[in-house]
Amino acid sequence: MAKVIAEKVIEQPVSDRKYVEIKHTNTLKDADGNDVEVLDFKEDLPVDEAIERAETRKANIQAQLTECETELAEYIAIRDAE
């Protein structure tokens, strides 16, 4: 799922907090076989919350990568063992 991220401009801001608009999209094929981008849903978040979510997601992905690299090293060690 792709995301389109843009600054959200609030007409009459209640505070100085900045917001972002995140559009979650999917690419589908139309009847002619052409790619069409479809909006699944849209959310508006304070930019600090969006940053926190992205940092958490990044940490999770890095942990998964570490696990994958360890697993791969074990497989290679078994393959290369004499």
Reported as a single tens digit per residue, the pLDDT across 61-75 is: 999 999 999 999 999
Q: Are 20 and 11 in contact (CB under 8 A)?
A: no
Give me the residues paired with residue 29 across strands: 35
The two tokens of residue 63 are 């942990």
Q: Are 42 and 24 in contact (CB under 8 A)?
A: yes
Q: Tell me, what's the pLDDT at 52?
A: 97
The two tokens of residue 82 are 């004499």
pTM for the whole thing? 0.68
- Helix/strand/coil percent split, the chain, to 5: 40, 35, 20
Domain extent listing, the chain: 2-80
For the stretch 8-61, pLDDT in tens is 777 766 678 899 999 999 999 999 999 999 999 999 999 999 999 999 999 999
Q: Tell me, what's the pLDDT at 14?
A: 67
